[in-house]
């Protein structure tokens, strides 16, 4: 029993000594640290400058650091690798008839794409051009002038020999920049997609003036504009589906176009419109082309401006004042009329007034005609292209007109 008591007492004594030793060591360390801290002398820095801090908040020089550039290069390499996995064929006649999205997306790319051809290869090219902000107007899966010109500008701005025809190198570059995404995807119809009102819009200007809204005429017209497509293409991608009868939650096949720009981000500093080429090119402040679209310009009876002008005002969902004196084919003594806003307004969903009176950049009620018909002098875009441009410009942006029609020799 005594041995056990001694053992316990010895244990307590050892523990107490250990705690005392730890306290001594801790105290010595604190003393040493305190001594070191007292000897540290560093400048405290200048007082905080709120203005400099605010400027620093938006300093984007970090993007040019090697570490970030390496990450960007790696991402670009991955996209390029994905694009190189594309299978190419030649001498193959294509069609979109009877193909589901998987068959379209997985189909080999038939090159060259030139002339009057249609099929998955054309549809992929049109969707990819749209996604890299080189609009072809209404996507229809059929090659033509709008697509060829858009591709020509893409090639030229990327240092590729500009031909307006799709070859392997061009498609790889285009697909890589577009992320090699599927060209056709499924879409769950939303309540907004089917929300009206829908109304039949007459051709007569005075009958239009009687309407409360120059709205979409049908659900399928509204869906076609949302996905930058012709109604015919949407019907082709959805065989057996009544697009006017879809309900919220219905699943349909659609082109995988670029997301809509819904808020102002004015990055366009200059616009150049080719009167003979029916092209609308937009550049940033550094001179880089950042947007292209086909456009409809004036005829010889109602010519577009020939001088350089500026955007003076921007109006979304504008009312339209019909003035017969401004239309060459209408007698001047016809009465004026005021039309309500809507996507089927003569000026579409947006009006960008120019410094030359009565001229502007605007949308249209007939997207399929863009690039092929003539206007009454204004610069007409599809509604989706016009809406995006309106969010990317501001009053004061310069608009130049080049390639007047008289400069192009007749063939």
> Any idea which residues carry the catalytic annotation?
362, 378
Q: Which residue has the tokens 């589906």?
A: 241
Name every residue whose Cβ is closer than 8 Å to that of residue 347 and which is 6 or more positions away in sequence. Answer: 318, 320, 360, 362, 363, 364, 378
Burial of 411 (0-12, 13-18, 19+ CB in 10 A): exposed
Max Cα-Cα span within the chain: 130
Pairing of strands 320-322, 337-339: antiparallel
Pairing of strands 350-354, 337-339: unpaired
**b/e 50-65 (16+ beta carbons within 10 angstroms → b):** eeeeeeeeeeeeeeee
Both ends of the chain: CA-CA distance in Å? Answer: 124
């Amino acid at each position: 029993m005594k041995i056990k008591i001694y053992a316990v007492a010895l244990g307590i004594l050892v523990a107490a000594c250990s705690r005392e030793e730890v306290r001594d060591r801790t105290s010595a360390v604190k003393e040493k640290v305190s001594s070191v801290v007292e000897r540290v002398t560093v400048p405290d820095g200048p007082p905080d400058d709120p203005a400099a801090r605010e400027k620093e908040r938006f300093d984007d020089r970090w993007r040019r650091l090697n570490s970030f550039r390496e990450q960007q290069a790696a991402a670009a390499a991955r996209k390029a690798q994905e694009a190189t996995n594309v299978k190419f064929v030649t001498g193959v006649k294509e069609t979109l008839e009877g193909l589901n999205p998987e068959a379209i997306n997985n189909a080999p790319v038939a090159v060259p794409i030139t002339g009057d051809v249609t099929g998955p290869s054309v549809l992929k090219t049109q969707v990819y051009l749209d996604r890299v902000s080189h609009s072809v107007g209404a996507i229809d899966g059929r090659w033509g002038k709008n697509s060829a010109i858009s591709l020509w500008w893409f090639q030229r701005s990327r240092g590729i020999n500009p031909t307006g025809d799709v070859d392997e190198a061009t498609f790889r570059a285009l697909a890589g920049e577009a992320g090699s995404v599927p060209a056709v995807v499924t879409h769950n119809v939303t309540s907004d997609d089917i929300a009206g009102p829908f109304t039949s819009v007459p051709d007569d200007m005075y009958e239009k003036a009687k309407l409360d809204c120059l709205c979409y005429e049908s659900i399928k017209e509204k869906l076609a504009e949302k996905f930058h497509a012709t109604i015919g293409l949407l019907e082709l991608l959805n065989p057996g589906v009544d697009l006017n009868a879809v309900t919220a939650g219905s699943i349909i096949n659609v082109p995988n176009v670029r997301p809509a720009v819904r808020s102002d981000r004015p990055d366009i500093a200059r616009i150049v419109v080719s009167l003979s080429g029916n092209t609308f090119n937009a550049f940033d402040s550094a001179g880089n082309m950042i947007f292209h679209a086909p456009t409809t310009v004036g005829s010889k009876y109602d010519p577009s401006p020939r001088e350089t002008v500026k955007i003076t005002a921007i109006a979304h969902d504008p009312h339209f004042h019909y003035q017969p004196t401004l239309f060459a084919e209408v007698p001047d003594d016809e009465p004026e009329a005021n039309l309500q806003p809507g996507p089927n307004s003569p000026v579409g969903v947006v009006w960008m007034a120019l410094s030359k009176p009565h001229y502007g950049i605007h949308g249209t009620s007939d997207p399929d005609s863009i690039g092929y018909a003539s206007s009454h002098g204004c610069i007409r875009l599809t509604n989706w292209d016009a809406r995006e441009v309106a969010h990317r410009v501001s009053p004061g942006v310069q608009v130049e007109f080049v390639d007047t029609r008289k400069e192009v020799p007749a063939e």
